[in-house]
Structure 1
Amino acid sequence: MKRVAVLGGGITGVTTAYALAKRGVDVTLVERHRYAAMETSYANGGQLSASHAEVWNHKATLWNALKWMARRDAPLLLHPWPSWHKLSWFAQFLAAMPDYERNTIATARMAIAAREHLFAWAQEEDIDFDHRRAGILHIYRERAGFERAAGVSRLLARGGLQRRAVTPQEMRAIEPALAGDFYGGYYTDSDSTGDIHKFTSGLAAACARLGVACRYGAHVTALAREHGKVRVSLGEDSTLFDAVVICAGTASRAMAASLGDHVNVYPVKGYSITVQLDDAGSRAAAPCVSLLDDATKLVSSRLGEDRLRVAGTAEFNGVNHDIRADRIRPLLAWVEQCFPDVNTRKVIPWAGLRPMLPAMLPKVGPGKAQGVYYNTGHGHLGWTLAAATAELVAAQVAAMAKD
């Protein structure tokens, strides 16, 4: 049996290892942390959101980035100092703008396909991840945003996703806890939410039961092609594999370069807060339906009965894990504005680096060299897309393993 190394123990790496193990492949999962799902898959917004499949390669994104550059609390913050990585990434981002419609449709289709696999795996492995099938409600305070969303809805429909426009009265019927004045919204009842960390940890345990060799606390120090195979060095330990699948998030770019590939992943920082709903009043006042506020670029998800996750913002500032108070403050303010009776005394802040490719589509499939594969660059939709891309790349690797 041929041996395959999966590099990275976040949502994409663990789903890839699982999909390969289910196909009978001899898999080694390598993760630098002591446990799975300890970086970007730790505390994201929680949304399994095909309705959020619109790619960012649109003039509205550029306008907002320029407009907000002077605001430290801006939903999208582009730090002005240049780097070659940032400049090359944005050049490719601009070049992908003509593909905005096609890539949005492709992302929606991928997100819909992912649901089937993820839900089936959770059921088969008995994984409790606070899954809630209550849909996602997109909210708009102004007419311009609502009308632009109508065009996005038409694109999503071409990808197979149906979401419907709702009035302010219908919005409050869907989520009675929501406070404020709104022009309208869009509701996708087929979307859902869940705790990415719980799911990934549970699936990692399932991988171990299936015979996956889980190498936690192992740092990849070198990768090298060798006689049609790939040598993976973990410090002084060096092993030759028939194939590797790089699922290493923001580290994927450097790994790819060592194997002769250009995978231009940029680390786009996002923030979240987890509000502990410790009292009955807060639990009653918190939303049960997941929300996406387009103006503030924030999402919320109810995780179980006693947690409310609020996440969002995008910060282009290189590899930087700092949790800044001025970036957390808008998330708290949003909770206080939209759900004023929720007690925000106990809040856990977090920041993670989304691995984002310029065209906003993940890199899934083979590299230039024999035995090198990728499943990375999912950006803000890793939780939503991972099960589908894992199946795609696992099928390719498994076919190679049979040859």
Structure 2
Amino acid sequence: MRVIVLGAGIIGVTSAYQLARTGHEVIVLDRQQGPALETSFANAGEVSFGYCSPWAAPGIPMKALKWLFMEHAPLILRPKIDAAMLSWMVRMLSNCTSRRYAINKSRMLQLADYSRASLAELRSETRIAYDERMQGTLQLFRTQQQLDASGKDVKALAADGIPYEVLDRDGCIKVEPALAHAREKIVGGLLTPKDETGDCFKFTNALAEKASALGVKFVYGTSIKGLDVMGGRVRAVVTDRERIEADAIVVALGSYSPLLLKPLGIRLPVYPVKGYSLTLPITDVSRAPESTVMDETFKIAITRLGDRIRVGGMAEISGYTNDLGQARRRTLEHSVTDLFPGGDIAKATFWSGLRPMTPDGTPVIGPTKIGGLFLNTGHGTLGWTMSTGSARVINDLVSGRKPDIDATDLAIARYA
């Protein structure tokens, strides 16, 4: 079949690679001049198979109210007259119950664990390098209250068979020796040892080269104007240059997916939640992280990428804006210098990207009501983590095969 993949970020490129391996003729369209130049460009760098939770959780509404008055708040809300924003927030709040949290986290962990195995196979198969490390994620707690609250996550990890360790202060320092100078600022942590780290931009570009070798055609600098649907089936993609016919189309446009689908009567509850990152060179290895440390207080990930430190996080709900707020930069700088002052903050590069978030945290992967039209989007902060498993699932569905994992509740039909 001829399959068109819309989007050349981490989700689009992994999907294209898997589809090409199956033997499909694959075309990838993207408005940028190369792969991974938007949300996949400078994300936090963590591949968090174990640290994988929906933002919608019990207690989040009350925490959100407190965060509004914090200098270094992990959540920033800039309300505006936007029906999509309001609808998304209402749906998210409806998922902030213990029951919904357990269901959503279980779905996410299943897909993340499948991605863990998929990434290992792909890495063995392709031998690509991307500053990868396999030393786990340490969720770091600065207060006893945070440590006690981690019980719900421990319960979910245990139920799904995901390895974990609850650590005291000395245990955290054993895993991340550079924390020794900040020992009085921490009380403990939750280690998920199977987690990995890596540069998503490097990975996506390297895999795009492998996909090209398999025959995938990448068309860059192309704006997608719409989809041509006839008789209840998608027939083609209309760009600013031409109309390209296809047997199947996979929408992997991240936060922009709902805008393309709305004229077709498909209401996809994905909304952009902006995240920020800093990338700084390491000047003192003894004060730099070994892997990824998630600073729970500020919801910021501090990750080792080769000779660099990537600091990423926060969630800003402000629509389709990509400005670089200096207050957000100060929060990132505060977290990394407080815990790992081994980088040159003066030489840091500042970036922001729009994460495609669903109200329940689970991505949308699967068919739509229109024949031949498939979705692989809405991964939020976990696109890098879930990319390889999501690509396998969408490849199986497009190819008419049953996926290795139960993908029924991943499709958009769950919102009906």
Aligned to 1:197: 201
Q: Does 1:261 align with 2:260?
A: no
**Which runs of structure 2 are paired with 1:172-321 in the superposition (5 Å)?**
172-178=173-179, 179-180=181-182, 181=184, 182-227=186-231, 228-277=233-282, 279=283, 282-304=284-306, 306-321=307-322
Deviation at residue 218 of structure 1 after TM alignment: 1.0
Deviation at residue 62 of structure 1 after TM alignment: 1.5
- Tell me which amino acid in the other structure corresponds to 1:89: W
- Tell me which amino acid in the other structure corresponds to 1:303: L
Q: Match of 1:389, SS?
A: helix
Alpha-carbon separation, structure 1, partners of 2:131 and 2:287: 19
- After superposition, the C-alpha distances for 1:100-158 in whole angstroms (9 at most, x for unaligned) are 10110111121111012122222322211111011111111111110111221111221
Deviation at residue 72 of structure 1 after TM alignment: 6.0
Aligned to 2:404: none
- After superposition, the C-alpha distances for 1:290-337 in whole angstroms (9 at most, x for unaligned) are 101111101111111x10001100000000111111101111111221
Aligned to 2:161: 160
Deviation at residue 71 of structure 1 after TM alignment: 4.3
- Tell me which amino acid in the other structure corresponds to 2:139: H
CA contact 2:288–2:341 (8 Å) conserved in 1: no
- Tell me which amino acid in the other structure corresponds to 1:272: S
Deviation at residue 341 of structure 1 after TM alignment: 4.4
Identity in percent: 35
Deviation at residue 287 of structure 1 after TM alignment: 1.2
Deviation at residue 354 of structure 1 after TM alignment: 0.2
Deviation at residue 234 of structure 1 after TM alignment: 1.2
CA contact 2:276–2:351 (8 Å) conserved in 1: yes
Mean Cα displacement is larger for which, 49-58 or 212-221? 49-58
Alpha-carbon separation, structure 2, partners of 1:91 and 1:75: 19
Figure out how many residues of one structure are paired with residues of the other and give that number: 395
- Tell me which amino acid in the other structure corresponds to 2:108: T
- Tell me which amino acid in the other structure corresponds to 1:190: K
Alpha-carbon separation, structure 1, partners of 2:336 and 2:318: 26
CA contact 1:108–1:160 (8 Å) conserved in 2: no
- Tell me which amino acid in the other structure corresponds to 1:252: S
- Tell me which amino acid in the other structure corresponds to 1:169: D
Alpha-carbon separation, structure 1, partners of 2:296 and 2:287: 22
CA contact 1:46–1:195 (8 Å) conserved in 2: yes
CA contact 2:53–2:361 (8 Å) conserved in 1: no
- Tell me which amino acid in the other structure corresponds to 2:330: R
CA contact 2:72–2:298 (8 Å) conserved in 1: no
CA contact 2:366–2:374 (8 Å) conserved in 1: yes
Deviation at residue 343 of structure 1 after TM alignment: 3.1
Aligned to 2:45: 46
CA contact 1:174–1:289 (8 Å) conserved in 2: no
Alpha-carbon separation, structure 2, partners of 1:106 and 1:264: 17
TM-score of the superposition, structure 1-length normalised? 0.95
Alpha-carbon separation, structure 2, partners of 1:89 and 1:230: 30
Aligned to 1:26: 25
